[in-house]
């Protein structure tokens, strides 16, 4: 349906609410890529068959990532008048028994993780009560949503809809306040007001150095020229990190809405959503979101009768990590190889086809509807002094509860690893956490009291980057990890500048020698010198940050390097000569 204003949006919202909270059973199956890799698609098919077989009325719906990856496949059941029950480890084999219990109006206690009495709708301040207060007491033994250690310290505002809505249903998105921020922005606010609000909120770019988004927008909006562009950067690419992928697969509209608002703020009429290759489910869901948004009139001409026109094109990359870098990304969209260039000029002034362009990371944009609806004051009350808001992380590796989490910035690593993550599995000891992917660094156990924000991480030799948190145990060799990262970067270097093209390759060669017990005693000094000169001499951030993992592991695990070089031994038992 076409949405022209408040009334229409309300109708869309109500359709969505009826879908989200129907007066029959609603069964939701987590269907993001990693859920599917654990058999969620078979679970979904199985549930549909069982429901049909038993002949009871139920909507079986795919939802995005619930974040409880350690318990996937997850299934949630809403039965009218009863608390929502979240189930975990529902393999295809367990489906018949689960549906038998659900069909009888009951709960399969053995596999139930927790119950939820009410769902906050967040954006418009409302909530939906699944059941009457106190109904949860019937299932006394089953913990409440607010009591789950994995969830207690999280704050899901970017992931507000992930795992709750069908990502391909725009009505369900609207039900939870979706597109109300866009309505407010284009009908009640002027572009400059929006820029001011985002600046006041303290929103920092979520893909690297954390550059203030408001300043970037201001710079672009003030730049000369009528034609401006906005690009949503979804080219995560860091090996082993899937937050952005999860976000796109779970709530593509939140990204799109943020992007449309940003376009309005800077005066862009055209935008590009760049998704790196290999994200087929995310691409599919984003394309559907764009199509539906167009149908509803959130994209196109005279959006919500505001006079603002904006169209978006989804572009799939060809497969190059360097295209995550702004200037290389521009080249890729222009149809060329991902060639970075020197800055200035900055893309905000001269970007896509020489026009002022704002390039925002997907997570940055997902924050925008929140800031518009809830205000800068609310947003800046979350997080730490200089790092406002929350951050989505992929908590993976040697941790009991691996998953997609969202925490307020300023939380300590200890809290993430132990309170949320449940600590290290039995028999293993915590060694370090790798943060910031290939541009970041390792933080050793001794620094686990560190708070997670841009400045503290940088000081410790790591980085926020796109948000990977890889927990490593004593069986991880830091020399091997660095060799792995350098090999990755070596393969992804675009090849334009000498320090990266040749320097990273030669660094990796020396690291390989060290890992094979062929290191020479001057190697550490050589590597340190190379690291410094690559950082200073490389053209773009791929090269400039390439030495970071080496520098951080050298800082905290120098002994390991020395063991490899002097004693030809790998303490973790990983490297073989």
Site for other proteins in 529-548 (CB under 8 A): 530, 533, 536-539
CB of 110 to other proteins, least distance (A): 22
Nearer residue to other proteins within complex by CB, 5 or 318: 318
**In 419-576, alpha helices (H):** 454-459, 478-492, 498, 505-515, 523-537, 541-545, 548-566
Q: What is the CA 350 to chain-centroid distance, rounded?
A: 28
Q: What part of residues 349-408 is at the interface with other proteins (CB under 8 A)? A: 394, 396-398, 402-403
Instruction: Draw the binding track, 23-52, toward other proteins (x: CB under 8 A; -: no contact).
Output: ---------xxx-xxx--------------
Map the footprint of other proteins across residues 417-456, applying CB under 8 A.
434, 437
Strand partners, 231: 272, 359
Residue 61 or 489 having the CB closest to other proteins = 489
State the maximum Cα–Cα separation within the chain, in Å, rounded to a whole number. 74
> What's the min distance (Å) between Cβ of 240 and other proteins?
3
Size of residue set near other proteins by CB under 8 A: 82
Told to check if 1 binds other proteins by CB under 8 A, we report no
* CA dihedral (408, 414, 419, 420) positive or negative: positive
Q: Please, which residue, 18 or 533, has the CB nearer to other proteins?
A: 533
Please state the length of the chain: 577
Closer of 319 and 354 to other proteins (Cβ):
319
Q: Are strands 58-63 and 311-316 parallel, antiparallel or unpaired?
A: unpaired
Cβ contact 420:405 at 8 Å: yes
Per-residue mark of binding to other proteins, 450-489 (x: CB under 8 A)? ------------------x-x-x---x----x--xx--x-
Closest contact distance (angstroms) between CB of 137 and other proteins is 33
Query: What's the per-residue H, E or C state across 309-348?
Result: CEEEEEEECCCCHHHHCHHHHHHHHCCCCCCCCCCCCCCC
Kindly write out the interface string for residues 190-229 of this chain, putting x where it contacts other proteins by CB under 8 A and - elsewhere: ----------------------------------------
Token couple for 286: 């984003």
The residue (of 27 and 243) whose beta carbon lies closer to other proteins is: 243
Per-residue binding letters, 69-108, with other proteins (x by CB under 8 A): xx-x------------------------------------
CA–CA separation, 282 and 248 (whole Å): 5
Cα–Cα distances (Å) from 28 to 57, 59, 196, 544, in that order, read 14, 8, 39, 44
Please tell me whether the peptide bond between 344 and the residue prior to it is cis, using omega within 30 degrees of 0.
yes
Interacting span for other proteins (CB under 8 A) from 135-143, 146-154, 498-506, 559-567 = 498-506
């Amino acid at each position: 349906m076409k949405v022209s204003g408040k009334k229409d949006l309300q109708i869309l919202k109500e359709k969505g609410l009826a879908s989200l909270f129907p007066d029959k059973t609603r069964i939701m199956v987590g269907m993001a890529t990693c859920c599917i890799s654990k058999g969620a698609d078979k679970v979904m098919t199985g549930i549909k068959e069982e429901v049909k077989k038993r002949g009871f009325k139920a909507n079986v719906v795919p939802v995005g990532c619930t974040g409880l990856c350690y318990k996937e496949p997850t299934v949630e059941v809403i039965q009218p008048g009863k608390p929502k029950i979240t189930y975990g480890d529902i393999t295809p084999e367990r489906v018949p028994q689960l549906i038998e219990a659900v069909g009888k109006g009951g709960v399969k206690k053995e596999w139930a993780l927790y119950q939820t009495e009410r769902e906050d709708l967040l954006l418009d301040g409302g909530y939906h009560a699944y059941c009457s207060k106190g109904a949860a007491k019937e299932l006394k033994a089953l913990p409440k949503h607010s009591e789950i250690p994995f969830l207690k310290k999280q704050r899901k505002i970017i992931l507000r809809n992930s795992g709750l809505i069908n990502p391909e249903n725009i009505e369900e998105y609207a039900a939870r306040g979706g597109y109300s921020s866009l309505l407010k922005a284009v009908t009640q606010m002027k572009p400059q007001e929006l820029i001011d609000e985002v600046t006041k909120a303290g929103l920092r770019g979520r893909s690297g150095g954390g550059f203030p988004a408001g300043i970037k927008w201001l710079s672009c909006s003030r730049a000369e020229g009528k034609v401006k562009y906005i690009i949503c950067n979804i080219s995560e690419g860091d090996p082993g990190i899937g937050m952005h992928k999860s976000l796109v697969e779970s709530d593509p509209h939140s990204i799109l809405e943020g992007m449309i608002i940003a376009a309005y703020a800077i005066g862009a009429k055209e935008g590009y959503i760049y998704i790196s290759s290999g994200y087929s489910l995310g691409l599919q869901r984003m394309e559907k979101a764009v199509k539906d948004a167009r149908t509803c009139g959130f994209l196109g001409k005279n959006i919500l009768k505001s006079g603002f026109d904006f169209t978006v094109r989804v572009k799939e990359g060809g497969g190059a990590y360097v295209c995550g870098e702004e200037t290389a990304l521009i080249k890729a969209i222009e149809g060329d190889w991902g060639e970075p260039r020197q800055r200035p000029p900055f893309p905000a002034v001269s970007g896509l086809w020489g026009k002022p362009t704002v390039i925002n990371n997907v997570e940055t944009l997902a924050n925008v509807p929140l800031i518009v609806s809830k205000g800068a004051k609310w947003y800046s009350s979350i997080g730490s002094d200089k790092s406002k808001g929350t951050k989505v992380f992929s908590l993976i590796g040697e941790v009991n509860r691996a998953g997609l989490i969202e925490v307020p910035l300023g939380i300590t690593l200890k809290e993430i690893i132990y309170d949320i993550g449940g600590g290290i599995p039995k028999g293993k000891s915590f060694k370090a956490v790798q943060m910031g992917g290939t541009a970041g660094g390792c933080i050793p156990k001794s620094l686990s009291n560190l708070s997670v924000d841009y400045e503290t991480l940088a000081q410790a030799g790591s980085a926020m980057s796109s948000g990977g948190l890889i927990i490593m145990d004593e069986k991880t060799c830091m020399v091997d990890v660095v060799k792995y990262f350098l090999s990755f970067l070596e393969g992804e270097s675009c090849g334009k500048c000498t320090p990266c093209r040749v320097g990273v390759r030669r660094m990796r060669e020396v690291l390989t020698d060290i890992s094979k017990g062929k290191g020479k005693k001057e190697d550490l000094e050589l590597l340190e010198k190379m690291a410094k000169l690559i950082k200073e001499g490389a053209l773009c951030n791929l090269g400039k940050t390439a030495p970071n993992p080496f520098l951080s592991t050298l800082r905290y695990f120098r002994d390991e390097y020395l063991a490899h070089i002097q004693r030809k031994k790998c303490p973790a038992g990983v490297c073989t000569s």
